[in-house]
């Protein structure tokens, strides 16, 4: 099967899963999911003859001219399903995807929903990687609900295991497609397989971009995908952001997504409690990451050693401001004496 046909089948089956489960994405979720299918979501209403997708937004964000397909009341928040225009993506489908939205914006849920598309592929392998098995538990449970439950696709698996304590979390479908949770603490077991897709759960908890570069060779033969649904709470996550905004067409980044995007979980009272401008509990940077979905400046932090940044080494000559004057003087005199 050629890649174009494969990707088309995955996208079609994904839509079928969504229709069966009553899934409508938020705009930021649709943004990166469409990128993986070779489309770009525009922040504009779809007109006659346009390709479009339906997204769920607070009614206050409905734009002039948008077609409202359905109205809903979610947690006392008026919401609308609207149609927004999509166009072919420059560079084709993105294969490395970052969802850097705020806390409780539906990252685990949408990651699992996206992952269901691969269930139509015989012998496909989708691995969910977290720092521990329990880290990937939300995505795994959502996958089981979407694919196996009676109100979902009601697929009968060849094997189903859900034992996070024993490290056995696996769905094997009758067509050979497998969804498997792996712990990064046992990363040596990740090598040497042909993988259709990786989903890196809460990626900011992982040690660095090596969680991807160390296994990316497993994706090459099948031209597979890697998804990072995570808050941008570590400096290395910024690399995904940089590459996903024009540096590499194979990367896509969705970011700057406010927590208010998800009416199912949004809590204005909790937000006010954390808001530093209202005397809240969080620092400005933590609030910016947690509630606004913005990349922090990470003042006072350093990159992990595995990033390969030689600037982590300090000496009186390289960083004189960090040393007492007498120590600096001794160091300089010693260098002159050696010279």
Tell me: the pLDDT tens digits for 14-44? 999 999 999 999 999 999 999 999 999 999 9
**Unique residue bearing structure tokens 């990626």:** 203
Burial class (CB in 10 A: 0-12, 13-18, 19+), 81: middle
3-state SS record for 252-298: EEECCCCHHHCCCCCCHHHHHHHCHHHCCCCCHHHHHHHHHCCCCCC
Tell me: the pLDDT tens digits for 132-156? 999 999 999 999 999 999 999 999 9
Phi-psi region of 208 (alpha: psi -120 to 50; beta: other; left: phi over 0): left
Which pLDDT score is estimated for 304? 35
Q: What is the pTM of this model?
A: 0.84
Q: Are 10 and 227 in contact (CB under 8 A)?
A: no
- Residue 321 binned pLDDT confidence (cut-offs 50, 70, 90): low
Which pLDDT score is estimated for 316? 56
Instruction: Name the range with the highest mean pLDDT among 52-56, 162-166, 183-187.
Output: 52-56
Q: What is the mean pLDDT of the chain?
A: 88
Residue 311: both structure tokens together: 């600037």
Residue 315: both structure tokens together: 């000496």
What domains sit in the chain, N to C, each tagged with a CATH number?
A: 3-22+90-260 (3.40.50.300), 39-88 (no CATH), 309-338 (no CATH)
Query: Residues 270-282: what's their mean pLDDT?
Result: 92
The residue with greater pLDDT, 300 or 237, is 237
Q: Which of 161, 156, 157, 119 is nearest to 141 (CA)?
A: 161
């Amino acid at each position: 099967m050629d890649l174009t046909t494969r990707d088309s089948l995955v996208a079609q089956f994904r839509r079928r899963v969504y229709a069966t489960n009553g899934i409508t994405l938020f705009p930021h979720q649709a943004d990166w999911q469409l990128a993986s299918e070779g489309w770009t979501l525009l922040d504009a209403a779809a007109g006659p003859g346009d390709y479009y997708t339906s997204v769920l937004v607070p009614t206050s964000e409905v734009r002039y001219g948008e077609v409202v397909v359905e109205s809903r009341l979610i947690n006392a928040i008026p919401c609308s399903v609207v149609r927004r225009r999509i166009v072919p993506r420059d560079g084709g489908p993105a294969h490395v995807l970052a969802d850097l939205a705020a806390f409780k914006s539906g990252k685990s849920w949408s990651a699992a929903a996206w992952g269901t598309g691969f269930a139509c592929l015989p012998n496909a392998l989708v691995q969910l990687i977290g720092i521990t098995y329990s880290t990937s538990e939300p995505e795994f449970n959502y996958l089981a609900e979407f694919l196996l439950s009676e109100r979902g696709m009601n697929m009968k698996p060849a094997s189903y295991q859900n034992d996070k304590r024993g490290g056995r979390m696996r769905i094997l479908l009758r067509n050979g497609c497998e969804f498997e949770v792996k712990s990064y603490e046992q990363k040596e077991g990740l090598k040497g397989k042909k993988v259709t897709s990786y989903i890196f759960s809460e990626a900011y908890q992982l040690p660095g971009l090596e969680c991807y570069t160390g296994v990316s060779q497993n994706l090459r033969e099948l031209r597979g995908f890697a998804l990072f649904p995570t808050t941008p709470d570590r400096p290395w996550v910024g690399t995904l952001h940089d590459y996903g905004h024009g540096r590499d067409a194979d990367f896509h980044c969705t970011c700057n997504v406010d927590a208010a995007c998800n009416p199912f979980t949004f809590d204005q009272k909790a937000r006010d409690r954390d808001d530093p401008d209202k005397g809240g509990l969080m620092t400005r940077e933590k609030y910016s990451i947690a509630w606004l979905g913005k990349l922090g400046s990470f003042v006072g932090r350093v990159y992990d050693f595995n990033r390969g940044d030689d600037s982590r080494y300090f000496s009186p000559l390289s960083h004189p401001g960090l040393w007492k004057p007498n120590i600096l003087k001794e160091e300089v005199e010693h260098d002159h004496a050696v010279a």
